[in-house]
Structure 1
Amino acid sequence: MRIEAYLSYRGQCQEAFNFYKEIFGGKIQNIETYEDKEIDIPENYRTKWQHAELIGKNFTLLGYDAAPDTPLTDGTNMHLGVDMDTEGSAKFAFTELSKGGQVHTNFQKTSWGAYYGRCTDKYGINWMVNYKE
């Protein structure tokens, strides 16, 4: 079984995916823009990403820039859970993801034995970062 997250942005998909690539690695591919699409969209939105994939060793993120008239509510309806391989990589990911965003639960050892932190990044996406020894 494989579960993929599909993330919606308001004109920031390229910026967000480059940000996530710096943290998690991977390769951005299968980029489609609105440029050649027969849809009613503002001219300055034509270069925005209608679809993109960030694919890494153990993850896939899909994303797009929602059309300006598409209703979006930043991050309130989902979290992305990330299980990291080391405590150090988990702490790094949490620190970077929370920069410019909001920390909801500090990254710390939990009662269930894992290291865990929860934050919303600067793009409005909720993250749960976890490392279990």
Structure 2
Amino acid sequence: MTTQLNAYIQSEDARAQAAFYMQALGGEVHSVMTYGQIPGAPEENKDKVMHMVLSVAGGNILFLADSPFGASPSGRSVSLSLTFDDEAKARQSFEKLAQDGTVKYPFVMQSWGAYYGEIEDKFGVNWMIVKK
């Protein structure tokens, strides 16, 4: 039996957030389902994303959805960790995710022998970038 854990991010604009992550980390949208595809969905929510599957950073899967009931809570309670084998790719992803966000800890060599940095991106999601 295979067990898989995926981050599921509620968003005010899942499409914009997905586009940002694809630009910063590479990747693609695999599927999008809107609330309008569900019978009886309120008209004001018909174009909102109910479920989006996105691969980033070499095939890691994220799920995103628009909050249909107004502003969603910030992603601050969740941290996503990406580990790279290549320092240049790790540094590039760190810099791109930091655009319009906040660097919480710079991407530098740590005492345990790996590069590490933390960012809160412009959507409020915390990222830990590691180069092992």
- How many percent identity over aligned positions? 29
1:72 CA displacement: 3.1
Larger helix proportion, structure 1 or 2? Answer: 2
Gaps of 5+ in 1: none
Equivalent residue letter for 2:26? G
Q: Secondary structure at the match of 1:76?
A: helix
Provide TM-score, normalisation by structure 2.
Answer: 0.88
Q: Does 1:26 align with 2:27?
A: yes
**How far does the alpha carbon of each residue in 1:64-117 deviate from its partner, in whole angstroms, 9 at most, with x for none?**
001125x73202211000001211111111111111011110111111111111
1:40 CA displacement: 5.3
Partner of 1:76: 76
Q: Secondary structure at the match of 2:76?
A: coil
CA distance in structure 1 between the partners assigned to 2:78 and 2:37 by the alignment:
31
Provide TM-score, normalisation by structure 1.
Answer: 0.87
Q: Secondary structure at the match of 1:72?
A: coil
Gaps of 5+ in 2: none
1:58 CA displacement: 3.6
RMSD: 1.8
CA distance in structure 1 between the partners assigned to 2:76 and 2:22 by the alignment:
23
CA distance in structure 2 between the partners assigned to 1:3 and 1:76 by the alignment:
18
Contact 2:51–2:65 (CA under 8 A) maintained in structure 1: yes
CA distance in structure 2 between the partners assigned to 1:20 and 1:82 by the alignment:
12
Q: Does 1:93 align with 2:93?
A: yes
Q: Secondary structure at the match of 2:75?
A: coil
Contact 2:36–2:43 (CA under 8 A) maintained in structure 1: no
Seen in structure 2, the aligned counterparts of structure 1 residues 130 and 39 have a Cα distance that, compared at 3 Å, is: farther
Paired residues in the alignment total 129
